[in-house]
Structure formats: structure tokens, C-alpha cells
């Protein structure tokens, strides 16, 4: 039986700039799973700030990612994660055995207004909800 204090899984979301898709995904996962899942995000070429339209779109749903900062993707972050979810970062993500890798083909919200970011946000939410259900189902099988 897992230790009730330790998270069920650790998840790393990766996109190029770590400024939109991966930050929204991390915000949703933190919101939906709380401390049951350890959440990380990173970028292969991180930007200097989180996309303001992504911040606004998430705020509409009551999720505040305004304090998030883009981070560089490291091999250590990948190695420390059970799930690595890439969103258009190509082959920049190192591969380690024993990790679950998923590639979510999502439009890049860079340079778009909040109206254009909403459908991307909603697709990310649906995928994160499915991810949480899968993580929870895996726990029940243990």
C-alpha cells in the first residue's frame, strides 16, 4: 500500500517555451489532483514569462498560474517523473526507461488572444482529466 504522504505519481509537462500549454496543463493537474500528484513543467527553449492569454484563460476557470515561471527542461526532471507529456517540443526530451511518455498534439497559443486560447485550454483540461483518471485507476490496481 502506498505511503499516504507520498504522491501517487509525478508528471512533467514539456512544451517549447514552457509559457502556455505546459503551464496550463500543470495548473489543471495541480487543481484537479492536489498533492496526490507531483507536478512539473519545463520547456526546451523557455520563454521569459507565461503567456498572458494563457493566464487570463485559466483565471476564467478560477485557476491562477500568474506566479508560474518558465523553466528549462533538464534530464533530471525527466528522470524524476513517472509521466512525461510533451506538447510540440520535438525530440528535445531525453528518454529514460520506465517512464510513460505521451505526446499531446495541441495548437501553440503563442501570440494569440484569450479567445483563441480558450479551445486549447479546454482540450488540455479534458486530457488532464483523463490523465488523472488513469493515475487513480492505476493506484486502485495496486
Q: Which residues are catalytic?
A: 15, 89, 93
Cell of 133: 483518471
Whether the Cβ atoms of residue 58 and residue 19 lie closer than 8 Å to each other: no
Whether the Cβ atoms of residue 123 and residue 60 lie closer than 8 Å to each other: no
Amino acid at each position: 500500500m502506498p505511503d499516504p504522504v507520498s504522491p501517487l505519481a509525478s508528471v512533467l509537462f514539456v512544451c517549447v517555451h514552457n509559457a502556455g500549454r505546459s503551464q496550463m496543463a500543470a495548473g489543471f493537474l495541480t487543481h484537479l489532483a492536489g498533492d496526490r500528484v507531483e507536478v512539473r513543467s519545463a520547456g526546451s527553449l523557455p520563454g521569459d514569462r507565461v503567456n498572458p492569454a494563457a493566464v487570463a484563460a485559466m483565471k476564467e476557470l478560477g485557476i491562477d498560474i500568474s506566479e508560474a515561471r518558465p523553466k528549462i527542461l533538464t534530464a533530471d526532471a525527466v528522470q524524476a517523473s513517472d509521466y512525461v507529456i510533451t506538447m510540440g517540443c520535438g525530440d528535445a526530451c531525453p528518454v529514460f526507461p520506465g517512464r510513460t511518455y505521451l505526446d499531446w498534439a495541441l495548437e501553440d497559443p503563442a501570440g494569440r488572444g484569450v479567445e483563441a486560447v480558450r479551445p486549447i485550454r479546454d482540450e488540455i483540461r479534458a486530457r488532464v482529466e483523463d490523465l488523472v483518471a488513469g493515475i487513480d485507476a492505476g493506484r486502485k490496481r495496486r
